[in-house]
Amino acid sequence: MNWAPIYKWAQPYSDAVLNFIYPPYCIICKTRLESGLTLICKTCWHRLPKIDNAQNQKRSRANLDFAESQISKFLAVWEFNKAVQEIIHEIKFFGKKSLSKFVGRELADLMTHDKDYCGVDLIIPVPLHKTRLRERGFNQSLLLSQAISTLTNIPVKEKVLKRIRFTRPQSQLNASERQQNVKDAFRVIDSSAIKGKTVVLVDDVLTTGSTMLACAESLESAGVAKIFALTAAVTL
Ligand SMILES: [Zn+2]
């Protein structure tokens, strides 16, 4: 049975209601969850491929691309694999708040334990185009940003950066097409709110980094002092 329509219908309701409608099985290994757990079992959660960011600064393609860019430093929690994809999928297409809080905790942890990430004034989620936002009902990057904000007390500025062009999903494109696809797709609409600030750009997954770079270009031209990037997953 395809549960997706039920999920969509039930989205405004709490996870407790969803657990009643959608039996509590681990989304990764499909075993029944012990009570008190939602969506993922402990074993699967601990098996997720955590990134050693210190080591991967050198070998991540994104970081090489970022070397000459406006992005001072990039951090990610996990290497993208099938299990991580399941988690991102739940947040991206079903807006699972409980899961975004778990992921947000990992992101906040990563950020607060990195000495370079000090003095961050604002969290900026990578925006969705209004058409995509209408389709989906929420922005997964905003859900993650809000979860980080709750733990760090750093405010989220969700309306300063806007996606002004509707772009094809990056996943359907190769590296150079991705770059072209997001070129000039973003615009800062309230530069006074971010001028001279240190910001962290938040997204769910980073593949080639072209979306982050396009956002960073707009932010820099609007006068942002320093830009960090943070994602839940990265393809290495
Ligand atoms: Zn599991």
| Model confidence band, residue 105 (pLDDT cutoffs 50, 70, 90) | very high
Residue 3, pLDDT > 60, answer no
* Residue 129: CATH number of its domain: 3.40.50.2020
- 158 and 204 both lie in a single domain: yes
- 38 and 54 both lie in a single domain: no
Give φ, ψ of 139 to 5 degrees. Answer: -110, 120
Question: Looking at residue 33, what is its pLDDT?
Answer: 87
How many domains is the chain partitioned into structurally? 2
Question: Looking at residue 179, what is its pLDDT?
Answer: 79
In the reported structure, the alpha carbon of residue 44 is separated from the centroid of ligand 1 by a whole-number distance in angstroms of: 4
In the reported structure, the alpha carbon of residue 85 is separated from the centroid of ligand 1 by a whole-number distance in angstroms of: 14
In the reported structure, the alpha carbon of residue 227 is separated from the centroid of ligand 1 by a whole-number distance in angstroms of: 36
In the reported structure, the alpha carbon of residue 92 is separated from the centroid of ligand 1 by a whole-number distance in angstroms of: 19
In the reported structure, the alpha carbon of residue 18 is separated from the centroid of ligand 1 by a whole-number distance in angstroms of: 18
- 124 and 195 both lie in a single domain: yes
- 210 and 104 both lie in a single domain: yes
Boundary residue ending a domain (46, 61, 80): 46
- 107 and 15 both lie in a single domain: no
Residue 219, pLDDT > 90, answer yes
In the reported structure, the alpha carbon of residue 180 is separated from the centroid of ligand 1 by a whole-number distance in angstroms of: 38
In the reported structure, the alpha carbon of residue 67 is separated from the centroid of ligand 1 by a whole-number distance in angstroms of: 37
- 62 and 100 both lie in a single domain: yes
In the reported structure, the alpha carbon of residue 46 is separated from the centroid of ligand 1 by a whole-number distance in angstroms of: 10
Question: Looking at residue 1, what is its pLDDT?
Answer: 47
In the reported structure, the alpha carbon of residue 225 is separated from the centroid of ligand 1 by a whole-number distance in angstroms of: 42
- 34 and 79 both lie in a single domain: no
CB 199 within 8 A of CB 224: yes
- 55 and 166 both lie in a single domain: yes
Domain containing 41 equals 1-46
- 116 and 80 both lie in a single domain: yes
- 53 and 153 both lie in a single domain: yes
* Token reading at 160: 């300063």
Cross-strand pairs, 226: 198
- 207 and 160 both lie in a single domain: yes
- 33 and 69 both lie in a single domain: no
What whole-number distance in Å separates Cα of residue 76 and Cα of residue 139? 19
Residue 107, classified by CB atoms within 10 Å of its CB into exposed (0-12), middle (13-18) or buried (19+), is: buried
Residue 111, pLDDT > 80, answer yes
In this prediction the pTM is: 0.85
Cross-strand pairs, 200: 123, 228
Identify the residue with better confidence: 11 or 82. Answer: 82
